[in-house]
């Protein structure tokens, strides 16, 4: 069973995969990257090999190496290293999930297969179950991003009864603008204590109002400190200050 001791919450940086000018992964800077997130941005959780990290554009070997480097360099510095292991192939997802467990990752995330798509909730649940079974000691998070996958199964529908079929399921990264769906995830599943992590950085404050327990995003790589200030303002019920932080962050251009 997945450990119930640590709940993934707060800010989670969706990490960039650093490359050399020749298109090779620049592993040498990941240690510095960890220190920058912790010391400069106040972010101690990472989501590796996701959309921002271009995981699905990397080879399986590269994804394994990147995961290993983040786990190694983050040891005793980061709170949680979550590895995205989703792939079009079930066997590849299982291989990556097993590897994540072997190297000591804190959790795995899985995107829906998006070429031959799951037709319904049952298909998607079965896919997640098969991946989770290869890493039974790790929490599993579903990565919901229908704008890229084209998989329109509502997150709230998926959550209904999922822990009975996938015991290691612990929550989701919700990267969609459908706040009604997200709100229903919160309202109907709050007693299960799922990690409900919002993934649209520009709408984070709205998601906090709906009940988000944390957030996964690319902007927390360089706006983590400012976003933490927004979280603090929200916690002390200073919504005016929280709104000012959100508006300012929306106006900031993303690095090219």
The binding site comprises 52, 216
Encoding tokens for residue 200?
Answer: 């649209």
Q: How far is CA 31 from the centre of its chain?
A: 20
Q: Which of 73, 141, 173, 222 is catalytic?
A: 173
- Clarify whether 141 is annotated catalytic: no
Residue keyed to tokens 């959550």 = 159
Instruction: Indicate the SS3 state at residue 207.
Output: helix
Is 121 in the active site?
no
At which residue do the structure tokens 């690319």 appear? Answer: 218
DSSP string, 214-256: EEEESGGGTSHHHHHHHHHHHHTT-HHHHHHHHHHHHHSPPP-
Can you say which residues are annotated as belonging to the binding site for pyruvate?
Answer: 52, 216
The SS3 of residue 14 is strand
Are 13 and 113 within 8 A, CB to CB?
Answer: no
DSSP string, 107-171: EEEEEPP-SS---SHHHHHHHHHHHHTT-TTS-EEEEE-HHHH-----HHHHHTTHHHH-TTEEE
What is the set of active-site residues? 143, 173
């Amino acid at each position: 069973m997945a450990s119930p001791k640590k709940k993934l919450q707060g800010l989670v940086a969706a990490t960039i995969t650093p490359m050399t000018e020749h298109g090779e992964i620049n592993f040498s800077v990941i240690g510095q990257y960890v220190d920058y997130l912790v010391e400069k941005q106040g972010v101690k959780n990472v989501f590796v090999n996701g959309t921002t990290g271009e995981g699905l554009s990397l080879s399986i070997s590269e994804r394994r190496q990147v995961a290993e480097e983040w786990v190694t360099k983050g040891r005793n510095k980061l709170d949680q290293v979550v590895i995205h292991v989703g792939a079009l192939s079930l066997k590849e997802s299982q291989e990556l999930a097993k590897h994540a467990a072997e190297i000591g990752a804190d959790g795995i995330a899985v995107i829906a297969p998006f070429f031959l798509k799951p037709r319904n909730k049952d298909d998607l649940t079965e896919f997640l179950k098969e991946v989770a079974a290869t890493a039974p000691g790790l929490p599993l998070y579903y990565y919901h991003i229908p704008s890229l996958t084209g998989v329109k199964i509502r997150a709230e529908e998926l959550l209904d009864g999922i822990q009975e079929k996938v015991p290691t399921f612990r929550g989701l990264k919700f990267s969609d603008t459908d706040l009604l769906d997200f709100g229903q995830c919160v309202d109907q599943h709050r007693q299960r204590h799922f990690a409900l992590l919002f993934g649209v950085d520009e709408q984070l404050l709205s998601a906090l109002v709906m009940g988000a327990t944390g957030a996964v995003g690319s902007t927390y790589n360089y706006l983590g400190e400012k976003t933490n200030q927004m979280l603090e303002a929200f916690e002390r019920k200073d919504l005016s200050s929280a709104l000012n932080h959100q508006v300012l962050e929306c106006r900031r251009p993303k690095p090219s």
